[in-house]
């Protein structure tokens, strides 16, 4: 009984077989068919390798939504060198809520030499070259996102020479936590002191001849500090042409959630526009000498996610490549054989149409004979 059921099952499976079976004795091989098959297999192999390369690659997906987090603090990471002595300059933040954050809360004032060493100059030149490429090719930002925490640090390397020159500049570095509202981070003459109506700087004891706000921004970022991420102002260097000069940076911050296969972090991207001018009250150019970074926070949040092609999609695309190439080459080969047979048949017909046929009386005829048998009448 079990053997009978097995036979019925096998017969049913044979009846469901939809693939045609052609005996090998009915298959005619040809040179043209072999050539087309070789081309088809080569094309399939090449496209399979290319498709596997696409399958291994990843891409960044950008999603936008309203940022509903207004209670958390915003972290500002700072590393700026000013060409003035540390006792002459002060840095702080004043936001729209009239809240002042003094630099003593997280910034370090370190006396340094403003001129860079040869190794540091090479680092700065390479960083500026990367910045220029990023401005031209925005797709490189995806590569930076995917290589975060894997690439080398973008921090300024320490000096490799033991210079005996006395420090003539002040490196202000560290981080501050501010309210998540628009504000103004600035570096100007004199230390900041609280004031009922805002704040003030003790600049009366510093002579105008000692003003020099030439500066270098080695690093400026917002949010979580992620090694390997290059920010728009990293490597910027400005040289003041006058003692009383104002440098302004207008920054728009976009909260960003970064999710890759390596890291998951909350950071902030930003765009910046720059302006500089000489303070001359007689000419109508009013203001305070210094470095001013006015930032504003966007209400939109960007979620950047690294995505990968699913394996099932890779199989579907691979089957499409193999089946499509076989079908296409079969159609082209059949069409080519049809055209070749038509041309060769016409050529043979034309050459046989004017064949000379001998007659019994010794004359010749250029017409085709009506019969091919050997009987004579």
Note the pLDDT of residue 368: 47
Which residues fall within 8 angstroms of residue 250, CB to CB, at 6 or more apart? 272, 273, 274, 275, 294
Give the strand pairing for 245-259 and 290-297. Answer: parallel
CA 215 to centroid of chain Cα atoms: 30
Q: Look at residue 350 in the predicted model and tell me its pLDDT.
A: 61
Q: Please tell me the distance from the alpha carbon of residue 119 to that of residue 124, in angstroms, as a whole number.
A: 9
Mean pLDDT, rounded, for 299-317: 87
The residue with tokens 């504003």 is 296
- pLDDT band of 21, cuts 50, 70, 90: low
Query: What pLDDT sits at residue 293?
Result: 93
Q: What's the confidence (pLDDT) of residue 23?
A: 67
* pLDDT for the residue 377: 41
Whole-number Å distance between alpha carbons of 206 and 360: 133
pLDDT, one tens digit per residue, over 46-89 is 888 888 888 888 878 888 888 888 778 889 999 999 999 888 88
Least confident of 13-27, 283-297, 335-349: 13-27
Vertex 101: Cα angle to 96 and 103 (nearest 5): 140
**Any idea what DSSP says for residue 227?**
T
Instruction: Tell me what pLDDT residue 372 has.
Output: 46
Res 16: pLDDT: 65
In this prediction, what percent of the chain has a pLDDT beyond 70? Answer: 75
Q: What is the pLDDT of residues 143-154, one digit of tens each?
A: 666 666 555 556
- The two three-digit tokens of residue 89, written as one number: 């300059």
The pLDDT confidence band at residue 1, using thresholds 50, 70 and 90, is low
Choose the weakest-confidence range: 217-231, 269-283, 347-361. Answer: 347-361
Q: Using 50, 70 and 90 to split pLDDT, how confident is the model at 115?
A: confident
Q: What is the pLDDT of residue 136?
A: 73
Q: For the segment 131-170, what is each residue's pLDDT rounded down to a tens digit?
A: 887 777 766 666 666 666 555 556 777 777 776 778 889 9
Nearest-angstrom CA–CA distance, 317 and 312: 9
Question: CA-to-CA distance for 168 and 84, rounded, in angstroms?
Answer: 6
pLDDT tens for each residue of 258-302 = 888 777 878 888 889 999 988 877 777 787 888 999 999 988 898
pLDDT in tens, 188-222: 887 777 666 666 676 667 777 788 899 999 999 99
């Amino acid at each position: 009984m079990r053997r009978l059921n097995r036979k019925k099952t096998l017969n049913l499976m044979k009846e469901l077989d939809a693939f045609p079976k052609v005996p090998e004795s009915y298959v005619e091989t040809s040179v043209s068919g072999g050539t087309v098959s070789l081309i088809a297999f080569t094309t399939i192999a090449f496209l399979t390798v290319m498709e596997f390369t696409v399958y291994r690659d990843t891409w960044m997906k950008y999603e936008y939504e309203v940022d509903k987090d207004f209670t958390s603090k915003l972290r500002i990471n700072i590393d700026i060198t000013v060409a003035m002595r540390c006792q002459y300059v002060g840095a702080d933040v004043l936001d729209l809520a009239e809240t002042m954050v003094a630099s003593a809360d997280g910034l370090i004032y370190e006396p340094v030499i403003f001129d860079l060493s040869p190794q540091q100059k090479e680092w700065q030149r390479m960083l500026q070259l990367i910045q220029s490429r990023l401005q031209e090719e925005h797709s490189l930002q995806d590569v930076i996102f995917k290589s975060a925490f894997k690439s080398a640090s973008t921090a300024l390397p320490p000096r490799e020479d033991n210079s005996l020159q006395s420090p003539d500049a002040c490196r202000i570095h560290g981080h501050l936590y501010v309210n998540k509202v628009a504000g103004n981070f600035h570096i100007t003459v004199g230390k900041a002191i609280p004031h009922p109506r805002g704040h003030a700087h003790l600049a009366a004891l510093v002579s105008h001849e000692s003003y020099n706000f030439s500066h270098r921004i080695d690093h400026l970022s917002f949010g979580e500090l992620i090694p390997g991420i290059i920010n728009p102002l990293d490597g910027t260097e400005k040289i003041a042409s006058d003692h009383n000069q104002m440098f302004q940076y207008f920054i728009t911050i976009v909260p960003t959630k970064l999710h890759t296969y390596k890291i998951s972090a909350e950071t902030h991207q930003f765009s910046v526009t720059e302006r500089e001018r000489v303070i001359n009250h007689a000419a109508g150019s009013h203001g305070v000498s210094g470095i001013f970074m006015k930032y504003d926070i966007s209400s939109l949040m960007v979620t950047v996610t690294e995505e990968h092609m699913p394996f099932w999609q890779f199989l579907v695309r691979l089957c499409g490549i193999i089946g499509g190439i076989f079908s296409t080459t079969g159609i082209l080969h059949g069409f080519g054989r049809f055209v070749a047979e038509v041309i060769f048949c016409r050529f043979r017909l034309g050459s046989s149409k004017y064949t000379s046929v001998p007659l019994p009386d010794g004359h010749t005829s250029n017409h085709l004979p009506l019969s091919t048998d050997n009987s004579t009448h």
